[in-house]
A and B are shown apart, each in its own frame.
Chain A
Amino acid sequence: MLCGDMSHSKVTQEAPVFQLFASRPRSRGPFSGVLNEAIVWQWLEDVPDPEIPVISVVDLGVVREVTVDGIAVEITITPTYSGCPAMAVISKDIESALYAKGIDELSIKTQISPPWTTEWLSEKGRSRLERYGIAPPQPTGGPTHCPYCKSTEVEKVSQFGSTPCKAQWRCSDCLEPFEYFKCI
């Protein structure tokens, strides 16, 4: 899904995305093991970011808190960009993943403060991004090197890219264009 696609410019978060999903996976019946926060975090590690599927929603740093109370699970997520349509998809993906594990009592809370920062990307996430051909964010505001040939001769093409979280860069050595995960 392309975040820059303005055809969904309607303000509701939920409306456009429901139909993107195939039917919900069937629950295997109520979860019967010992439910705790660590298990839920582990499950969330398997929920891919809908736009950059090589990293998980946990790697992306949007999952801020998991609390378990008996069989009830509460997950707090923080949006990356205020208008990013992927956030609604992320909520639904988390819901589907946990439902498939037998969790029926789930609430997902959105929290905007403190605002999301690329510092919350995990180390694992950063290296996976690079292997996928997306240069990870750097505090200097630009990629240190080309994710393909590792050359440091790189130039900015555009401050924005195919999703709100990325910018367009190009390598002057291997000439490949590549995406850079914006640092905010």
Chain B
Amino acid sequence: MNHLFEFLLRQGDNALVLGHRMSEWCGHGPALEEDIALANTALDLIGQTRLWLELAGDVEGKGRDADALAYLRDAYDFRNLLLLEVPNKDFGHSILRQFLFDAFQVPWLTELSQSDDERVAQIAAKSHKEALYHLDRSAETVIALGDGTQQSNQRMQIALDYLWPYSGEAFADDETDVAMQEQGIAPLPSDIKEIWHDRVNAVLEKAQLQQPASDFAHKGGRNGACHTEHLGHMLATMQILQRSYPDAVW
């Protein structure tokens, strides 16, 4: 197995799948400003996707570029976290998901920007700036909604109860993670679990939300072993143009 390729797919697919989910809000945001913010967040993520997947294609060395990887792979070849592929529900749910991911990305990209692989370090440093900005906003909005009205608090708690079991997958180290650590490319994801936890807890507390007690985690996204049924539906929409009209360009 080409571990570096796997690792890069994980970075790119996380950004791509969440970017696509956020783009689904375009034209449906609860307010014009929010709509624009969601679309801009999606745009940053899709830009980061291009950087990661282009490098993944180079590393693979089979002539696949970022487009081929994004539009011509099937669900079982995707390496994103399950957290990012579950469908949007209400606005609070999407913002909370974004927050759980941002709170992971910020320390993760901080570490990756010190990678021994210069290409990884460069993409991470670029993405880190955007992730910081996203985290500012998602954390603030989670607090505003959680510590808002009784109804908004209830809806955020429902979202948290639903998303929480999906949040642990990010920290489940496997052989690719070990290989990356040995090569000095990335730390083990489990190394940043505590930082993530502290940050998340601080925000949940301010947001008057109860962190679910169970630490059961759904797994199978980042190694492709068992995606949810939702990813296939998402890809059907995202990939239809390239699948129907291969190599079509504007």
Contact = CB atoms under 8 A, between A and B. Distances in A.
> Interface extent on B, as a size class?
35 or more
A34 B23 CA distance: 49
Nearest to B71: A11
A83 B47 contact: yes
Interface string B111-136: 00000000001110111011001001
Contact of B45 (A10, A83, A161): A83
A138 interface: no
B130 A112 contact: no
A115 B40 contact: no
A9 B15 CA distance: 13
B147 interface: no
Contact of A81 (B37, B43, B136, B137): B43
Contact of B42 (A6, A19, A115, A158): A6
B47 A3 contact: no
A16 B33 contact: no
B16 to A, nearest CB: 8
A168 interface: yes
8 contacts: A9-B19, A11-B71, A79-B47, A83-B50, A115-B126, A158-B36, A159-B136, A184-B129
Given A11-B67, A159-B137, 16 more contacts: A6-B23, A6-B42, A9-B43, A15-B249, A16-B250, A18-B250, A83-B43, A113-B126, A158-B34, A158-B36, A159-B133, A160-B37, A168-B33, A182-B133, A184-B129, A184-B130
